[in-house]
Homo-oligomer: A and B are copies of this chain.
């Protein structure tokens, strides 16, 4: 059941702003590190804090940014909160990025 693409192509200024916000959320190395970790499964905040090696409040803020644009979900279970990627598409973006860099790097020594 595919959703009907009521707006086939034309993008509005709001669309671009929305897209820009998502990219901005991804424009930080530590947040990318977090997303990468989440791409391999859900993690609680403490885990992610250890991973990035910053204060837990800082990590919580990073997670809030990712949540703000809908990239991740939070699920409280007892005293812990587990984060996960909301959408596998994010992984695609990651793959695209890899391809992009690979292509550009190979182009370098032509």
Contacts and interface: CB of A to CB of B under 8 A. Distances in A.
A54 interface: no
Most buried by B among A17, A26, A94: A26
A86 B104 contact: yes
Interface string A60-88: 00000000001000000000000000110
Interface residues of A, number: 41
A29 B16 contact: yes
A32 B3 contact: no
Contacts of A21: 27
20 contacts: A13-B29, A16-B29, A16-B30, A16-B32, A19-B32, A19-B94, A20-B26, A20-B31, A23-B26, A24-B27, A27-B27, A70-B100, A86-B104, A87-B99, A87-B100, A87-B104, A89-B96, A90-B96, A92-B96, A93-B96
